[in-house]
Amino acid sequence: MKNTISTLMAMRERGEKISQVTCYDFSMARLVDAAEINTILVGDSLGMTMQGYSDTLPVTMEEMIVYGRSVVRGAPNAFVIMDMPFMSYQVSVEQAVANAGRLIKETGANAVKLEGGAAVEEQIRAIVDSGIPVCAHIGMTPQSANAFGGFKVQGKGEENARRVLEDAFTVQRAGAFMCVLECVPPKLAALISSKVDMITIGIGAGAGCDGQVLVSQDLLAMSGDFKPKFVRQFAQVGAMMTEAYRAYDAAVKDGSFPTLEESYVKSDCSDEFLRALSAQY
């Protein structure tokens, strides 16, 4: 069954937790959809996971669209959310609406996500007014890591906690149906979740949110030694893949792959013809 805003809101009302993972390509999207994950975020984190950058800032609209199309094709049942990359919505409200429209129209995704609280209130409102669902993102916002002085917990201390809470109310008033709370102290995240009517999705924000999101490569242990405190590795897929590649490499080099059964034997020419052909050259 296709996940929609209505089904997700109904889950929240029933107290059921909502699952979300990042995904960037068709093959992974098929696996995520088969696992019945509720929502997929095509995150600008692809700059790090798929392109090898140290942060999300270099990712372009064109790249988001290419990756997003692949995910949508592979996940017919998940609710797919597209990240709006750095500087695709900050310049003006008009720019934000135009780029949000591109992401939805050119990928077939169901919603867009943009980072920031009060600073992007007007952008969120205008995008929602244009008929595009918006997921907000407050707390630690990776596109603003330089302004924060790095990837740091947000909402520590009374003044900062109040600011994050007010950001949550602001994005809700602007029309966001969902909000990612990243690296927010658990008690504050639980308080926000109890006060707002939109869906809250936590990452490094404790269990009090309506749902959780993790980067697929992190939960599958495919990110090398990179393991943030909030990540649980649910399988050692990275190690399994490395071993599989090593086994393939060894089989190629020792000649045990491919076997006759792994070859198109029936399409071979006759031995007699091949001998005659050999004799000609």
pLDDT digits (tens, 9 = 90+) for 15-28: 999 999 999 999 99
Count of Cβ atoms closer than 10 Å to residue 140 Cβ: 24
Amino acid, res. 275: R
pLDDT exceeding 90 applies to what percent of the chain? 88
- pLDDT score at 269: 87
Q: Say what the pLDDT of residue 88 is.
A: 98
Question: Which residue numbers are catalytic?
Answer: 182
Work out the mean pLDDT of the chain and round it to a whole number. Answer: 95
Q: What is the pLDDT averaged over residues 211-216?
A: 98
Beta carbons of 24 and 18 less than 8 angstroms apart: no
pLDDT at 148: 62
The SS3 assignment for 101 reads: helix
The pair of three-digit structure tokens given for residue 259, joined into one six-digit string: 């076997």
The percentage of residues in the chain with a pLDDT greater than 70, rounded to a whole number, is 97
The per-residue pLDDT for 231 is 95
Taking residues 225-245, report their average pLDDT. 95
